[in-house]
Amino acid sequence: VQGGGSGVGYSNVIDGVVDIGMASRDPKKTEIDNAKSKGVDLWLHPIALDAVCVVVHPSVANSSYPLSLTLQEVGKIFAGIYTYWDEVKSGLPHEEIFVVVREPGSGTRGTFEEYTMHPWKYDVTARASVQPSNPAVKHMIETTPYSIGYVGFGFISENMHVVALAKEDGKPYFYPTIDSIVKGEYPISRYLYLVTNGQPKSGSLTDRFIDFVRSEEGQQIVEDCGFLKLPYVYPAP
């Protein structure tokens, strides 16, 4: 098991390096085309729900002074249109915004940009600090004053402030909670997948492993790791 983002998960399956890849987004057209050219049939097996959470260092906001943003406001921050916090909202500190993002190819980054950047054709500011994993972003946010970044639901901690998000002006704001994610109310939610080359042969180790992950026992492990169970539970193998 290794990190590296969804791009690595798909490429490893396509190249035959692994039996099971991991991804937090659908395959891109280039990945589908590459798979077809090599005779690989990508199968996605949902195993959990997750949310991409926008987080800031406590020097920006905290439980006493919470921060709520629309998706476009988030996009403007990450595009560098806002450079100081008090440009975002009055009352925030007059300090330069330190932007933290994931590496290109990351499923977390892809999901985040799909909701906050692409609708307005924003590009990530060249000043952003690029990090290779959710734990790396988590560490940067926890230790860097006036920083903002994004992590999967399973990586939020008490040492950062989670931002409430609204789809647009006039719409309700939601924090990422189990209830808001399962109901689809939180604006940036996603499925997590195991990826295989074709449907696994019935009874094979790959087939039995995926069945286990989607069983009641496996879904409890998913929840224990900080992610969300699927809205439905598959029978145990």
65 and 121 assigned to the same domain: yes
Q: Is residue 93 part of a domain?
A: yes
29 and 79 assigned to the same domain: no
Check residue 69 and give its pLDDT.
99
11 and 128 assigned to the same domain: no
Q: What's the total number of domains in the chain?
A: 2
Rounded to the nearest 5°, which phi and psi values hold at 156? -75, 150
Q: Is residue 232 part of a domain?
A: no
116 and 36 assigned to the same domain: no
69 and 140 assigned to the same domain: yes
72 and 152 assigned to the same domain: yes
17 and 121 assigned to the same domain: no
Domain extent at residue 156: 50-182
- pTM to 2 decimals? 0.74
60 and 99 assigned to the same domain: yes
Each residue's pLDDT expressed in tens, for the chain with a length of 237 residues: 777 788 999 999 999 999 999 998 899 999 999 999 999 999 999 999 989 999 999 999 999 999 999 999 999 999 999 999 999 999 999 999 999 999 998 888 988 998 999 999 999 999 999 999 999 999 999 999 999 999 999 899 999 999 999 999 999 999 999 889 888 899 998 889 999 999 999 999 999 999 999 999 999 998 888 788 887 544 443
30 and 87 assigned to the same domain: no
Check residue 234 and give its pLDDT.
44
Q: Is residue 231 part of a domain?
A: no
66 and 27 assigned to the same domain: no
Burial of residue 16, with CB atoms counted within 10 A of its CB: 0-12 exposed, 13-18 middle, 19 or more buried: exposed
218 and 130 assigned to the same domain: no
40, 197 Cβ separation under 8 angstroms? yes
Q: Is residue 163 part of a domain?
A: yes
Q: Is residue 1 part of a domain?
A: no
Sign of CA dihedral 80, 26, 156, 167: positive
62 and 145 assigned to the same domain: yes
Q: Is residue 112 part of a domain?
A: yes
Which residues, in sequence order, are CB contacts of 197 under 8 Å at separation 6+? 13, 14, 16, 40, 41, 42, 43
Domain of 141: which CATH number?
Answer: 3.40.190.10
Q: Is residue 171 part of a domain?
A: yes
Paired sense of beta strands 147-152 and 98-102, if any? parallel
